[in-house]
Structure 1
Amino acid sequence: MAIDSDRGAGLAERRFQAVIFDMDGTLIDSTPAVLRAWTTWALQQDVPAEALNGFHGVPSAGVVAAVLPADRQAAGLELINRLELTDTEGIVPLPGATGALAELPPDRIAIATSCTAPLAAARLAASGLVAPKVLVTVDDVERGKPAPDPYLKAAELLGFDPTSCLVVEDAPKGLQSAHAAGAATLAVVTTSPRDELLADLVVPDLSAVDWLINDDLTISVGRR
């Protein structure tokens, strides 16, 4: 396993009880669909496109609350939910995603996403990926990313302490969530600049990750 940093070397020495994946930008490429939906939404809501910068990984409700006045937020959230749910064209698995979900023990993996449950199901179906048994959406938690709730909930449902889990993310806000939960972090450079990804190990995408299942079913990780 080739490791490119001291933090990454420390990660390779650890044995994790479970791996929790973000979804959009980590397992699936939904960027074109996301951009289409939010561009349409911004035009209809008279919101400057640049006002939406920096929100990747944040639940739609949080974005809407940040850019619309309170009296328009309910309608604005209903609109973006409808736009995203009806546009899944072109959503595909990212490199290494299919292999990772197939290689890892099914009872030791989860997805924690900022999507609603219907949107997560629609995007996974469009990509052809099969969701693991544990799928935590924004509907399952009081606070979405960057709060720790999604990763704490996923670890709880898996039956493991979050500090024994590895979180795989592509977004700074998602990494903040993982760090707040106490998890180790692996970042993929698929949607954000590398220098914004403060993780224990950073790789181009999941095809660069070497997964090792130990005899006790714990998981070790390194860079190919």
Structure 2
Amino acid sequence: MIEAVLWDIDGTLLDSEPFHFKSIVAVCEAHGQTVPKSDYDRLLGRSMAEVYAMLNAAQPMPLDLPQLAAACSDYYVANVADVPARAGALEKVAELAERGILQACVSNSGRRVVEANFSAIEDTIAMPDALRFALSRDDVAHGKPHPEPYLRAAERLGVHPSACLVVEDSPIGARSGKAAGMVTIAWPQHATLEFDPVDHLIADLHDLDWPAFFR
């Protein structure tokens, strides 16, 4: 039986991935670099360190990793008010909270971005403690696809990993959830994404029999 639901944030609770990509493009263009639109899927769900390595391999970056990360965070946080929730996501969080289901967020983004996102989510839901906390990439030694982020979240909630359900939009995040031994739901925004085996691959949150997880 599932005792806790762990949500990814970017692309899952919030339709924020286009805004993250926009921040990368804007910062790179400000320093004379071009990031092609075709890089969107390639960078989806990756940590800033991975993004930097991939961009730098394609064309040497004029910024180092900390400078790129800080500039992208500045751009994103300044525009976080424009980031919409993903359709049905926050309603499902509120519904589960009303049923007393433990929930938390597990992100591959840095702490500053996670705090901005989490604040926006809490303001929208207007339910204290609906989401107990939000883990960032800065809170773990190994980010997704390593299982550590989800295992750390389960530990903080006091729930065995096998009693946790993960909702992810990216193959990298889903890999992390499965590696942690959790029931993993892939809810991608892009049909072109290819996932390793997951427990459920859905197009809409309503495609799941949610009550069955908690019986």
TM-score band w.r.t. shorter chain: 0.7 to 0.9
Offset at residue 107 of structure 1 (A): 5.7
- Pairing partner for 1:65 from 45, 53, 57: 53
- The residue correspondences of 1:134-213 to structure 2 (distance < 5 A) are 134-191=133-190, 193=192, 195-196=194-195, 198-212=197-211
Alpha-carbon spacing, 1:93–1:20, altered in 2? closer, same or farther (3 Å) = same
CA contact (8 A) 1:47 1:67 kept: no
> Relative contact order (C-alpha < 8 Å, sep 6+): which is higher?
1
- Pairing partner for 2:91 from 99, 116, 130: 99
Q: Which runs of 5+ in 2 are unaligned?
A: none
- Pairing partner for 1:56 from 5, 23, 44: 44
Alpha-carbon spacing, 1:112–1:26, altered in 2? closer, same or farther (3 Å) = same
Q: Give per-residue Cα distances to partners, 1:61-119, cap 9 Å, x unaligned.
A: 33113333698222222222222222224312212212221122456211101122321
Amino acid at match of 2:50: G
Q: State how many pairs are aligned.
A: 202
Offset at residue 152 of structure 1 (A): 0.8
Normalised by the length of structure 2, the TM-score is 0.81
Alpha-carbon spacing, 1:197–1:206, altered in 2? closer, same or farther (3 Å) = farther
Q: Which runs of 5+ in 1 are unaligned?
A: 1-14
Higher strand share: 1
When the two chains are superposed, the root-mean-square deviation of aligned CA atoms in Å is 2.6
Q: Give per-residue Cα distances to partners, 1:149-175, cap 9 Å, x unaligned.
A: 110111111111212211111100001
Normalised by the length of structure 1, the TM-score is 0.78
Identity score, percent: 29
Offset at residue 192 of structure 1 (A): 5.1
